[in-house]
Amino acid sequence: MASKPISARQHGFCDWGFAAALFFLPRLMGVNHKAKTFYDIMGGNVVAINGTTDHGVGFRRLISVKTHEKLDIVNLSILYGMFAARMIRKDKSALAFHFGLTALATLHVLNTDYNSNLNPNTMTRDDKERDLENPGRQTDQPYNEDDKREQSENVGDDLESDDDNLDDGSGATERAE
């Protein structure tokens, strides 16, 4: 099977474009008030999901790219279901916008390699630095401050202490017997 052309990071950039389109295009196209409200909610949904995904272009890494993929599928299901809604079906400009949005979103999801952030060659500089700081962390798992705090607490745990050499601060080293 051929690899998918859109990386998880590129998908994140495109999602910011989708959010902007959801907020502004319905107004420019003269879509009815109920449909505009629906698209505002969907735009907020896209901002929340994309902004909290661990793909390098969000503002907080709380959810994995795999979870983002599942949420994209849910959002696509909602978009397809909304074709039956009267506010879209009966408004020609809303129907045109909805058709274009749904088609682009479907292509976007189907052509995204959601596993691309697991490949070290496609990781961002921040991802590589984070993995150097925390080598045991799986790259598809969200990174948060608790992980960093836990790591700093365990820094000296695996080093054996040498209790035979005691230093009282005077510069002279005594030998414990």
Q: Is the pLDDT of residue 155 over 90?
A: no
Min mean pLDDT across 10-19, 32-41, 126-135 is at: 126-135
Q: What's the rounded mean pLDDT across residues 69-85?
A: 96
Q: Which structure tokens are listed for 97?
A: 């916008």
Instruction: Give the mean model confidence (pLDDT) for residues 76-84.
Output: 97
Q: Hey, what are 44's tokens?
A: 């907020």
Structure tokens at 166: 């005691």
What is the residue extent of each domain of the chain? 6-144
pLDDT at res. 148: 54
State yes or no: pLDDT of 100 exceeds 50.
yes
Mean per-residue pLDDT for 133-161? Answer: 52
| Greatest mean pLDDT among 94-98, 119-123, 146-150 | 94-98
- Position 26 scores a pLDDT of 97
> Among 4, 43, 30, 9, which residue's Cα sits nearest to residue 117?
9
- pLDDT value at residue 127: 53
Question: Does residue 93 contact residue 30 with C-beta atoms inside 8 Å?
Answer: yes
CA nearest neighbour of 162 among 147, 171, 173: 173
- Using 50, 70 and 90 to split pLDDT, how confident is the model at 76? very high
Q: Tell me the whole-structure pTM to 2 decimals.
A: 0.64
Check whether 143 has a pLDDT greater than 80: no
Q: What pLDDT, on the 0 to 100 scale, is given for residue 52?
A: 94
Q: How far apart are CA 65 and CA 94, in angstroms?
A: 30
Per-residue b or e along 120-154, where b marks 16 or more CB atoms closer than 10 Å to that residue's CB: eebbeeebeebbeeeeeeebeebbeeebeeeeeee
Contact 75, 106 (CB under 8 A): no
DSSP state string for 101-151: HHHHHHHHHHTEETTGGGSGGG--HHHHHHHHHSTTS-TTS---HHHHHHH
Give the tens place of pLDDT for each residue, 17-54: 999 999 999 999 999 999 999 999 999 999 999 999 99
Q: Is there a contact between 43 and 123 (Cβ–Cβ < 8 Å)?
A: no
